[in-house]
Amino acid sequence: MKKVSSITLIFGLTVMLASAQEEVSQTPAEDACACIANIDINEDKKTQNEQIKKCIKDAIMSDQLFNKLSGALEKAKDSTANGEDVNITINAMEGYEKIERELIDDCKALNILLNNAKPSSVNSYSDNEKAMEYYNQGYQVYNAGNFEKAVELYGKAVKEDKDFAFAWDMLGVSHRRLDNYKEAIKAYKTSLKVDPYGRMPLQNLPIVYRLEKDYEKAAKAYQEFIKQYPNDPEGYFGLSQCGLLLKDYELAADNIFPAYKMYAEVNSPYKQDAEKVLSAVYQGMKENGTLDKFREYAEKHKVEITE
């Protein structure tokens, strides 16, 4: 009976390995990214982040299953003589942060989710059919990486409808991708005249200032973003980074704690980035002999720290 059982086990493992080999044709990060692409952009952020985490874990488990089944099959063959059991252990958190980092850097679907800008006013879209046609064409070429053509098409869209906020936004983004920072700033500011509460221009304006190394203006722009969107961690995170760049560690400390808490609450992939900034702020204040201030800000924001 043991021999029959062992043969069945080997056959089962062989079938499973063949199946896994068909499924695991990409890296775990690529598999996770493909899964993330199916997440609804209209879901709330907490639900989105839970689904992102599941995509990463499923990709890790699939990869481990494929790799470990190969070794288990050989072990099963060797164990037929003595009837040993074959055990496979899967750890869904193994390499999680590394894959998460790869996704933040390279997964377009993840970045669309994390930076999704929803309409904030009636001017977000346009009733002008020609303007919408140019906008949609611009969006297609932008996603294809043709930023020069995107600038041309978004430019045509805003000529058709000067109050088309999203077209101004994407014109700014396209200019930024071409390193045309002055033009990007001009487009974002025009969008904000149309819609002062526009999330995308408020979010992207400080990024362009940082690219220009104008950290003072970037800090002011992040403060404006926080004023309009106090529950969005990105403003606090960006402002804390500006604090580091300006060596204003108190500014950095006062903002990195709320950013970290908000990212942690929704299991955001950006949590590990916030941890790195938090560590840099700690080291900076330690070197300056101002760790007492660091602890005060931690207490202010109700964050327990272990030194």
Q: What is the pLDDT of residues 130-182, one digit of tens each?
A: 999 999 999 899 888 899 999 999 999 999 999 999 999 999 999 999 999 99
In this structure, how many other beta carbons lie within 10 angstroms of the beta carbon of residue 279?
11
Q: Is residue 219 part of a domain?
A: yes
User: 60 and 107: one domain?
Assistant: yes
Write the CATH number for 259: 1.25.40.10
Q: Is residue 249 part of a domain?
A: yes
CA distance 281 to 140: 41
Segments forming the whole domain that contains residue 190: 129-300
CA distance 153 to 140: 10
User: 166 and 265: one domain?
Assistant: yes
Mean pLDDT (whole number) for 218-225? 98
CA distance 40 to 105: 21
> The pTM is what?
0.69
Pair 121, 137: CB distance under 8 Å: no
Pair 75, 85: CB distance under 8 Å: no
Q: Is residue 306 part of a domain?
A: no
User: 295 and 263: one domain?
Assistant: yes
Instruction: Please state, in angstroms and as integers, the Cα–Cα distance from residue 203 to each residue in 92, 100, 197, following that order.
Output: 34, 22, 10
User: 181 and 282: one domain?
Assistant: yes
Greater model confidence, 83 or 99: 99
User: 162 and 296: one domain?
Assistant: yes
User: 55 and 196: one domain?
Assistant: no
Instruction: Please state, in angstroms and as integers, the Cα–Cα distance from residue 239 to each residue in 73, 195, 203, following that order.
Output: 53, 23, 11
4-21 pLDDT, tens digit each: 333 333 334 444 444 444
264-282 pLDDT, tens digit each: 988 888 888 999 999 999 9
Mean pLDDT (whole number) for 293-302? 96
Which of 114, 143, 176 is the endpoint of a domain?
Answer: 114
User: 16 and 47: one domain?
Assistant: yes
Which is it for the CA torsion 21, 23, 27, 28, positive or negative? negative
- Three-class secondary structure of residue 38 per DSSP: coil
User: 142 and 108: one domain?
Assistant: no
Q: Is residue 159 part of a domain?
A: yes
User: 57 and 133: one domain?
Assistant: no
Residues 6+ apart with CB under 8 A from 66: 17, 20, 21, 23, 24
Our count of domains for the chain comes to 2
User: 84 and 158: one domain?
Assistant: no
CA distance 171 to 185: 10
Which of 114, 143, 160 is the endpoint of a domain?
Answer: 114
Q: Which amino acid is at 124?
A: S
